Amino acid sequence: MVKGELLGESNEKLVYATDDPGKVVLSFQDVASAYNNVKTALFPGKGAVDNRISAFLMDCLQRGGLGTHFISLLGEREQLCRTCTLIPLEVVSRNLIAGSLADRLALDEGAKPSVPIYDLYYKDAALGDPMINDTQALALDIVTGDELSAIYGMARKANSILTDVFKRAGITLVDFKLEFGKDEHGQIVIVDEISPDTCRLWDAATGKKLDKDRFRHDLGNIMPSYEEVLHRLESIEK
């Protein structure tokens, strides 16, 4: 496998073509960004930690019967993934009240809703990735009704799998973001990454934040927290 031209980039990841059109290389960078890239900073080693965490969690989802783009780790900060056509939707699964939901509805952080909440967002950087509802997603022709149902079903199953994985690591999965794409067969799969950059993770015993909120809110100890998540995950049996 030969890594080729740069296909896309963000502050935190680069995507490269390979000599196989069905595969790409995802390269994790040492940058943290928040508030739609208004706040950014460099943390040496972060890309390598995010790469291993995401690979571990994608493998857990695959073992649980969910399709993802992940194939294998390639090195310290790179992984091989299937080429997919991105669906411009994000689903945020919320098990506890936190973040924008707490602010938007004036709810207490840490409160547990009677059922998990699933928020839908339209991936459009120029618009600030706005929250949309199901009928808006259909009206914009982003997905069909069957595809949207499949996406919600995958989000619910991923929430169940990942909640259990983190519970065994002594971590509460507060909320997390999933992105989706279609593989070469037109099947919807989970893409991008799952890491402390895309999840809210609290120590189950103390409530200590172990995710990117440490960067968002200037709490410090960002790398030790990310490394702790990795260590705990790799210490459990899948």
Per-residue pLDDT of the chain (238 residues; tens, 9 = 90+): 789 999 999 889 999 999 999 999 999 999 999 988 789 999 999 999 999 999 999 999 999 999 999 999 999 999 999 999 999 999 999 999 999 999 999 999 999 999 999 999 999 989 999 999 999 999 999 999 999 999 999 999 999 999 999 999 999 999 999 999 999 999 999 999 999 999 999 999 999 999 999 999 999 999 999 999 999 999 997 5
> Measured between alpha carbons, how far is residue 85 from residues 150, 152, 218 in Å?
16, 18, 36
> Measured between alpha carbons, how far is residue 110 from residues 60, 81, 103, 104, 172 in Å?
26, 35, 12, 15, 11
CB of 73 within 8 A of CB of 79?
yes
Residue with tokens 């995401």, as numbered in its chain: 54
Two tokens, residue 113: 């809703």
Q: If we measure between CA atoms, which residue out of 99, 137, 130, 135 comes closest to residue 117?
A: 99
CATH number of the structural domain 87-221: 3.30.470.20
CB of 112 within 8 A of CB of 85?
no
pLDDT on residue 37: 79
Domain 3-82 and domain 87-221 have a common topology: no
Angle formed by the axes of helices 46-63 and 222-234, nearest 10° = 30
Two tokens, residue 53: 């965490």
CB of 70 within 8 A of CB of 59?
yes
Say whether 127 sits in a helix, a strand or coil.
helix
Domain-wise residue ranges, the chain: 3-82, 87-221
pLDDT on residue 36: 80
pLDDT on residue 179: 98
Alpha helices in the chain (DSSP H): 46-63, 99-105, 134-139, 145-168, 213-216, 222-234
pLDDT on residue 238: 58
Say whether 126 sits in a helix, a strand or coil.
helix
CATH class of the domain comprising 3-82: alpha beta
